[in-house]
Amino acid sequence: MNHSEMRRALAAGAAATAICLLTSACGGGGPAAGGGKISGDKVTLGVVTDLSGVYASLTGPGAVEAVKMAADDYKKKYGDKAVAKNIEVLSADHQNKPEVASTKARELYDRKSADALFDVPTSSAALAVQTIAGQSRKMYFNVGAATPELTGKACNPYTYAWAYDAYMLAHGTGATVTTEGAKDWYLIYPDYAFGEAMSSGFEASIKAAGGRVVKKDPTPFPNDNFSTFLLKAKSTKPKPQVLGVMHAGGDLVNAVKQYDQFKLKQQGIGLALGLISDTDIASIGADKLEGAKFTTAWWWNKDDRTRAFADEFKERTGKRPSFDHAGNYSAATQYLEAIQRAGTDDPDKVRGELDGMTFSDVFAQNATVREGDHRVTHDAYLAQVKKPGTEPTDTTELVRTIPAAEAFAPVSKDCKLS
C-alpha cells in the first residue's frame, strides 16, 4: 500500500468509527485487534481545565465528561479486542494560572503516569502545559486555548492543537463584518496571550478587508466591570461603528450584558464577538445578541450527528455540550484510535499514527492533522445568533461554511518539530 492509499484507508476508517460511535452499531476488530503493549497495563487520560472559574461552563466539568464519553465509546466499540483495556480519566483544576497548570501537568505526567493531557483553556496555561509535555515527551491535546503560539514558536512534537485558534476566529468574523460595512472598530481584549493574539488577528483581518481599528484596549483578566471601556467606546473619535469583544466565558458574558446596559447599540455602535458558544448565549440571552455574527468550530444543533452526540452528552450531564466539549471528545477518541492502530501507547508510535492523518468525526469535518506543526485543520463556520428554536439553547444558525484550507493559517515558519 502506498502513502496515498494508506491515508485514504485511515480516513475511511476514521469516518466509519464516527458513525459507529454515534449509532452504537459497533463490532470488534481493528488493525491491532487482539492486544498490544500498554505501559503499566493502563491508559491514563488527564483533563487539565477550569473547574470553577470564568471558563468552567465552556470547558470545565463538561470537558472531563466528554473525555470519559470517548473512553466509554472506545471500550464499547472494541470490547475484548481493545488494545487499551483499562482506561482511567483524571482531572485537575488549573485555576487559569500558568504556574498552577504547570504543576498539575507535571503531577499528572510524573506521579499519576498520565499518557496524555487534554483541554487546558487559557492560553498562558496552555503554553505552560506545552512546555511540560515537551520535557516529559508525553502527549498533549490542546482544545481550549486559541493562541497561535501552540503551533508556532512554542510547538513541540508531543503537542497537538485540536479545535481552533485566533486566526480562525478573526479570519471569519473580522473580515466579514468589515466587508459588510462596519469599517471603524474599537477592540477590547483580555490582557493575556489569548487576548493579544485575538486583538492582533482581528486587526490584521479588519485592515485586509478595508477597515481600521481606531482604538484597542487590554482589560484585566478576569474582569466583571467593563464600564471604563464602554464609556471610551462612546467618546472615542472617530466614533467606532462596531465594538469587537475578544473575551470568552464569564468575562464575555459580563462585557456583553454591560454593552446592552450602556445602550451602545442604540447609539450606533454594533457588536462583534471574537469567541462565543451556546452556553454563553444562554447566559447572556439570545434577545440581546440576535443577529450577532461569530466564527465557531462547532455547535450542538448543526446536523443529525451533532444532535445525537448532544443528546447523549445531555443524558450524562443535564446540559448541551459546547464546542470545547465536542473537541475534547474528538481528541480523546482519535488518540485512543491511534493507540488501537499502533498496538501500544508508546507516544512516538502513536504520533506516527496521528501525523498527517485525515478524518471526519462528530466534531471535525474534512480534518487533517498537519505534520508540519500539529495543527488540526477542519471546516469552520461563520454563524449568527437567532431566536431560540427547538429549545432555549438552540440559538445558532449557519451563515456559511469556511473550508478547512481557508479557515487556518499556513504552517508557521517558527515551528520546528524535529
Instruction: Note the pLDDT tens digit of each residue in 222-231.
Output: 999 999 999 9
Q: Is a pLDDT exceeding 50 seen at residue 140?
A: yes
Mean pLDDT of 105-133: 97
Instruction: Note the pLDDT tens digit of each residue in 324-375.
Output: 999 999 999 999 999 999 999 999 999 999 999 999 999 999 999 999 999 9
The pLDDT of residue 198 is 93
Tell me which DSSP letter residue 80 carries.
G
Looking at CATH, the fold of the domain delimited by 3-164+302-374 is given as Rossmann fold (3.40.50)
The pLDDT of residue 56 is 94
Higher pLDDT, 316 or 288: 316
| Distance (Å) of CA 299 to CA 31, 169, 267, 287, 306 | 32, 14, 31, 19, 8
The pLDDT of residue 32 is 37
The pLDDT of residue 224 is 95
Mean pLDDT of 383-400: 92
pLDDT band for position 385 (cuts 50, 70, 90): very high
Q: Is a pLDDT exceeding 60 seen at residue 209?
A: yes
Q: Is a pLDDT exceeding 70 seen at residue 123?
A: yes
The pLDDT of residue 326 is 98
Q: Is a pLDDT exceeding 70 seen at residue 307?
A: yes
Domain ranges, ordered by start, for the chain: 3-164+302-374, 167-296
Q: Is a pLDDT exceeding 50 seen at residue 282?
A: yes
pLDDT band for position 279 (cuts 50, 70, 90): confident
Output the pTM of the full model: 0.87
| Chain mean pLDDT for the chain | 91
Is the peptide bond between 238 and the residue preceding it cis, with omega within 30 degrees of 0? yes
The pLDDT of residue 36 is 52
> What crossing angle do the helices spanning 60-78 and 323-342 adopt, rounded to 10°?
30
Do 327 and 363 meet the contact criterion of CB atoms below 8 Å apart?
yes
pLDDT band for position 390 (cuts 50, 70, 90): confident
Percent of the chain's residues with pLDDT above 90:
84
CA 147-369-49 angle, to 5 degrees, is: 45
What strands lie across the sheet with 376-377, from one edge to the other?
A: 358-359, 367-369, 376-377
The pLDDT of residue 191 is 95
- Distance, in Å, from the CA atom of 393 to the CA atom of 386, rounded to the nearest integer, reads 10
Q: Is a pLDDT exceeding 60 seen at residue 71?
A: yes
User: Quick check: do 3-164+302-374 and 167-296 share a fold?
Assistant: yes
Q: Which three cell numbers stand for residue 122?
A: 487559557
Instruction: Note the pLDDT tens digit of each residue in 8-55.
Output: 444 444 444 443 444 333 433 343 333 458 988 999 999 999 999 999
Q: Does domain 167-296 fall into CATH 3.40.1170.60?
A: no
- Distance, in Å, from the CA atom of 142 to the CA atom of 125, rounded to the nearest integer, reads 11
Question: Among candidates 376, 304, 339, 303, which has minimal Cα distance to 74?
Answer: 339
